[in-house]
Structure 1
Amino acid sequence: MCGICCVVSLSPQSLVLADRVQKNLINRGPDNSQDVTRTVINTDFKCLFSAHVLQMRGCLTPQPLQDSAGNLLLWNGEVFGGLEVGPEENDTVVLLEHLSAQEDATGICSVLSRVRGPWAFVYYQVAEHCIWFGRDYFGRRSLLWHLDPEDVILTLTSVASCLLICDQSQWHEVPAAGVYRLDLKDCASHRKKLTIEVFPWVTTDDHPTAHTPDYTWEDLPTYATIVPNLCGVFLQSPVCPMNMSMSAPERPLGNVQSPKLSLEDLEELLKQSENVEKVTKLIEVLSEAVRRRVQSLPSRRLFVEQSGLNNEADIAILFSGGIDSMILAVLADRHVSAGKPIDLLNVAFKLQETKMQTQSAKKDRMPKKDQTDEHPKQRDHNLTRCFDVPDRITGRAGLIELQHLSPERQWNFVEINITPDELKRMRQERISHLVHPLDTVLDDSIGCAVWFAARGIGMSMDCAEQKPHTSTAKVVLTGIGADEQLAGYSRHRVRFKSDGMEGLVKELAMELGRISSRNLGRDDRVIGDHGKEGRFPYLDEDVVSFLNQLPVWEKADLTLPRGLGEKLLLRLAAKKLGLGPAAILPKRAMQFGSRIAKMENGREKASDKCKRLVTE
């Protein structure tokens, strides 16, 4: 993973990155930093390419990477398939070789269409004097753009800063609707004009002339325009189209009638032959997705060989004990070396004193003598009770299940406890810049919770004693994508209740279509700030294609009770994998499970603009 930045300027000003942006980029890539400046021949354009590398595969490969012809590549991504990358090879080198061999837009789009995995990139094609840039189909890696309102300056960067300019609205995420090309020769011939061409993603059912993706850029200055490419070239979607069938079978799935849930309900559904094949296939594709993301970490292997240390985790999981993270843990256990620990990162925000007083009313009625004689360990336990949020409770229960399923594995359950003072301080110092340009109450809650969780600093049990623990894992698995594809959110039940199957199908199609702008860029910026890489197995191309092929009613049945009907197919997979109570836990959003949402104004709506994200 990397922090990448490109500045294209027709201004006489020197190309200098703001200190805050530079620091944020270095945090993402602490292993190597390098800047390269180019002046485009026969034009007034100057280009700054800045890259900051986190070594993940093969030998350390500084960026910007340049070939013998002078082509430059900034690559923030992982090639998990589509292009052949050897165990000890660096995917940036492999990709540049493929891109350099292409002479036209068709060839470049063909290469990018083949890549399986998350990516954002900037590529300077020297022979054509073109800048190519963009994000993968789901937008799993962040890329922001900014066009100066006065001077002709385009900036592309993995992460920005909300202090860089006065008008914060001028930073935006590059739409994950395709890739983009800026022809510098053409721009020079039309002085003071930038024309950016879009090469859209299309599916096999689309005709390129009829495909009109939403590639609109907001707040464009008068000197810039975004247009469809004139050569009719497009990228081939890496996933199949979503099954939009709406005629669900009349018969219910199974014999579940009672609103009370039990594991026997899942067992009954698993007996049905029509479910067995789908559950087996889901486990197969999801297991392979996890394998791709937890193996091939040669840089860590070299560290182990040189230091002799093998007792620190390479892999961490954002862990609530819910079904999404539990399944990731079970599947990671299959593919992580037996002697390696796995870190389970569980974040909790301190409950307010008024809430604690209510919860401990019975304790307050204890006789004074009993309180005086309270054992020191009991007092320590009481001090930590303010962090016993719902996700902490389900996380501990999930740990017990995992220890039962895989007793030989060292599971580091890392309790990450955050006080209001620390939350306020780190939000102002770092998190607000990372969440930017997103700015809602929901972005604040999720961004803060993920940032503290991914940091991995907390306490874990060691020989029946809690000790400080800092996760060393460079790879952090998250469960994002499961709810969006399998109707896991409460709003899906609301839509189903009001508009039936047709409404639910449309809602899920919208969810997957907007995940790049709603979630993934923000999460990538937040996790990457710790020099770690977020990976999303539920958004693996093969996983999404498999789920897209199924009609919605085979993935979820919202006529069944909460804790069973939503994400039904995933719950069946959990049961088949040996999970118990976690398989029927109802969905609880991270902002509520960690209790960060309870620390602020309870009257706020998730979609409201968040004043706390405005730095002082």
Structure 2
Amino acid sequence: MCGIFCLLSLSAAPSERDRTVHEHLKRRGPDSSRDVTVQGPNLGCRCLFSAHVLHMRGRLTQQPLQDGLGNLLAWNGEVFGGLPLTTEDNDTSVVSERLSSCNDPSDVLSVLSSLRGPWAFVYYQKDGDFLWFGRDFFGRRSLLWRFDAEFDALTLTSVAAQTSEAVNSAWREVPAAGVFRIDLKAFTETGSLTFELYPWAHTEDDVLSTCSETLVPIGCTAVINQSGLFLTSPVSRLNTSLPKSTNDTETCSNSHLSVEDLQQLLEGKEKDDEVSALIDVLSEAVRQRVQFLPFREKEEDSPPTPERATVAVLFSGGIDSMILAALADRHIPAHQPIDLLNVAFKLHEPKTQKQSVKKPKKHKNKPSNSNTDRAADSKTFNPFDVPDRITGKAGLKELRDLNPDRKWNFVEVNVTQEELQRLRRERVCHLVHPLETVLDDSIGCAVWFAARGTGVIMKEEEEEEEEKSFTSTAKVILTGIGADEQLAGYSRHRVRFKTSGHEGLIQELVMELGRISSRNLGRDDRVIGDHGKEARFPYLDEDVVNYLNALPVWEKADLSLPRGVGEKLLLRLTAKRLGLGPSAVLPKRAMQFGSRIAKMEDGHEKASDKCSRLLTG
């Protein structure tokens, strides 16, 4: 992974970078930094390239990488398939070599279409003086752009900065609609920028609507390439078939299904085959993302210790993260720990005046998804016993039962309001930008603190537990994003199914994957990458998405069943097959509520409201 940057400007324009942006880029890539400027004798403009590398694959390779022909590549990505790579190969070198052999746009598109995995890139093609850039089909890596009309300068960067300057409002995310090409000679002659778009196949017919005036930098123009060329989509279209006879809107909200009921659903051979196939494809996606991770150059002399993990999971104890942890356990060497990063925001201690009047009732056998019972008793109240902490500890027990020999580091990341406010102002507001809603603030802050991995673990000493300060060393962080979007995990899916049946649900799922790049993935990549760590998304692996897209929607979710079972039904059956227990039937709980960050601020805000707290940088 890298922090990449390119400043394209006319020769008279300044080439300085914003200092804050530069610091953010360096944190994304702590292992190597390099600047290269391109300004040929026949080129009236110049490109300043800068790249900061997080070493993850093969030999450490400096970027921007320049080949013998003068082509230059700034690459922020991972190749998990599509090109032949050995464990010793560096994907930047392999991609650069393939691009170097390209003679025309169709060759470039062929190389990019073959890639499987997340990527964002900027590529200077010397033959013809073209600048290519873009993001993968899902937009799993961040790339932002801005045009400064005063200096006729375009900036492309992995991360921007929140400032008070008026030009700041022009930062936008590069749409994951395809790849773009700039004719640098034309830019030199006219001083105006036109982006040629080479769209992904299977996108909307009016693809330019994706690159509307709200997304293209002010003062620039986007046009579809005149040759009619496009990138081959890495995933198939969603199966839109409808069941022959269903009562779409009938629900069973009074039913209470258990883990044992899931076993009965598994008894049908067809469902059994679907579960087996999902385990196979998802397990392979996890394997590709957790194996063959190099240690940093400066760490090679110090071998791994039992305390030092290479992989962590953003962990709430919910089904998405539980399955990732269980599958990672299959592929990570037995002597290495796995870090489970569990974030909690400090609760306010309840008032104690009424506690002497009435003692809280205790329910020994009733599981709880809230902290109500604990909070009612000031003697046992723990301000970090938020719902995700409670389900996280329950999930930890399941994983220990699944593999008692594995060392599971359950990292309790505890955040106070003072620390939240300070680090949001200093760091997170820059990383979330240019997104700006209350939801972006909540998720961005929660993921940033979780990914930092600084907290405490419980260390067992002579049959007693002792709290110990701990910071995760993992450079790879698995996140469960993509599961809800494909398997109808959100409450809005249930609402849409109730009002419009399977047809409406299918439309909602098509929309979910179509907007995941702009709603989630760029932001999460910027936030996690700020710690010199790499976000990896197994549920968005191309083979996983292709498998799920091929299934009819009612085989993936049955929203006539109650919460905790019907949504993501196929995944719940998978959890049962993997040997997991109560976590298989936990209802979906959004991170901002499970971590209780939403309780830190104004409770009357709507998730879609513009968040003033992100404007304090």
1:304 CA displacement: 6.7
User: Secondary structure of the equivalent of 2:347?
Assistant: coil
1:449 alignment counterpart:
446
Distance 1:309 1:270 in 2: 41
1:349 alignment counterpart:
345
Distance 2:195 2:253 in 1: 57
Identical residues among aligned pairs (%): 62
Query: Bigger shift: 459-468 or 394-403?
Result: 459-468
User: Secondary structure of the equivalent of 2:383?
Assistant: helix
Distance 2:146 2:97 in 1: 29
User: Secondary structure of the equivalent of 2:414?
Assistant: strand
In structure 2, give the amino acid aligned to 1:605: K
- Contact 2:2 2:53 survives alignment (8 Å): yes
Taking structure 1 as reference, are residues 175 and 211 closer, same or farther at Cα in structure 2, changes over 3 Å only? closer
Distance 2:552 2:571 in 1: 15
How far does the alpha carbon of each residue in 1:416-456 deviate from its partner, in whole angstroms, 9 at most, with x for none? 00000000000000000000000000000000000000000
User: Secondary structure of the equivalent of 2:326?
Assistant: helix
Partner of residue 327 from structure 1, selected from 323, 327, 347? 323
1:231 CA displacement: 1.4
- Contact 1:77 1:120 survives alignment (8 Å): yes
Q: How many residues align?
A: 593
Partner of residue 418 from structure 2, selected from 396, 417, 421? 421
Distance 1:161 1:35 in 2: 20
Query: Bigger shift: 311-320 or 146-155?
Result: 146-155
1:76 paired to 2:60: no
Distance 2:581 2:299 in 1: 35
Distance 1:38 1:135 in 2: 22
- Contact 1:317 1:478 survives alignment (8 Å): yes
- Contact 1:72 1:123 survives alignment (8 Å): yes
Partner of residue 277 from structure 2, selected from 274, 281, 290? 281
1:4 alignment counterpart:
4
How far does the alpha carbon of each residue in 1:466-492 deviate from its partner, in whole angstroms, 9 at most, with x for none? 100100000000000000000000111
1:13 CA displacement: 2.8
Taking structure 1 as reference, are residues 219 and 299 closer, same or farther at Cα in structure 2, changes over 3 Å only? closer
Partner of residue 397 from structure 1, selected from 390, 394, 398? 394
Distance 1:33 1:98 in 2: 23
1:11 CA displacement: 5.5
Distance 1:520 1:49 in 2: 24
User: Secondary structure of the equivalent of 1:453?
Assistant: helix
1:559 alignment counterpart:
560
Q: Structure 1: which 5+ residue stretches go unaligned?
A: 367-380
- Contact 1:571 1:584 survives alignment (8 Å): yes
1:606 alignment counterpart:
607
Distance 1:346 1:27 in 2: 22
- Contact 1:28 1:54 survives alignment (8 Å): yes
- Contact 1:345 1:415 survives alignment (8 Å): yes
2:592 alignment counterpart:
591
Distance 1:303 1:515 in 2: 37
In structure 2, give the amino acid aligned to 1:604: E
In structure 2, give the amino acid aligned to 1:155: T
1:167 CA displacement: 4.1
- Contact 2:320 2:480 survives alignment (8 Å): yes
Distance 1:29 1:382 in 2: 46
Distance 1:145 1:244 in 2: 35
2:374 alignment counterpart:
none
Distance 2:449 2:217 in 1: 37
User: Secondary structure of the equivalent of 1:235?
Assistant: coil
Aligned-CA RMSD value = 2.2
User: Secondary structure of the equivalent of 2:494?
Assistant: helix
Taking structure 1 as reference, are residues 222 and 28 closer, same or farther at Cα in structure 2, changes over 3 Å only? closer
- Contact 1:3 1:28 survives alignment (8 Å): yes
In structure 2, give the amino acid aligned to 1:200: P
Distance 2:451 2:425 in 1: 18
- Contact 1:11 1:151 survives alignment (8 Å): no
In structure 1, give the amino acid aligned to 2:285: A
2:314 alignment counterpart:
318
In structure 2, give the amino acid aligned to 1:262: S
Taking structure 1 as reference, are residues 219 and 341 closer, same or farther at Cα in structure 2, changes over 3 Å only? closer
1:296 CA displacement: 1.8
Distance 1:284 1:165 in 2: 51
1:113 alignment counterpart:
113
In structure 1, give the amino acid aligned to 2:389: R
Distance 1:178 1:319 in 2: 32
1:193 alignment counterpart:
192
1:38 alignment counterpart:
38
User: Secondary structure of the equivalent of 2:166?
Assistant: coil
Aligned ranges 1:542-553 → 2 under 5 Å: 542-553=543-554
Q: Structure 2: which 5+ residue stretches go unaligned?
A: 360-377
2:137 alignment counterpart:
137
- Contact 1:217 1:226 survives alignment (8 Å): no
1:98 alignment counterpart:
98
1:257 CA displacement: 8.8
- Contact 2:31 2:53 survives alignment (8 Å): yes
1:86 CA displacement: 1.1
How far does the alpha carbon of each residue in 1:377-428 deviate from its partner, in whole angstroms, 9 at most, with x for none? xxxx958711100000000000000000000000000000000000000000
Query: Bigger shift: 167-176 or 87-96?
Result: 167-176
Aligned ranges 1:528-543 → 2 under 5 Å: 528-543=529-544
Taking structure 1 as reference, are residues 181 and 398 closer, same or farther at Cα in structure 2, changes over 3 Å only? same
1:43 CA displacement: 3.1
Distance 1:105 1:156 in 2: 21
Distance 1:451 1:125 in 2: 36
- Contact 1:202 1:211 survives alignment (8 Å): no
User: Secondary structure of the equivalent of 2:121?
Assistant: strand
Taking structure 1 as reference, are residues 391 and 211 closer, same or farther at Cα in structure 2, changes over 3 Å only? closer
2:368 alignment counterpart:
none
2:15 alignment counterpart:
15
- Contact 1:304 1:310 survives alignment (8 Å): no
- Contact 1:9 1:45 survives alignment (8 Å): yes
Aligned ranges 1:128-527 → 2 under 5 Å: 128-163=128-163, 165-189=165-189, 191-203=190-202, 214-218=210-214, 223-247=219-243, 249-250=245-246, 259-299=255-295, 306-311=301-306, 312-353=308-349, 356-357=350-351, 362=355, 385-463=382-460, 464-527=465-528
- Contact 1:147 1:220 survives alignment (8 Å): no
- Contact 1:149 1:221 survives alignment (8 Å): no
Report the TM-score when normalising by structure 1.
Answer: 0.93
In structure 2, give the amino acid aligned to 1:277: D
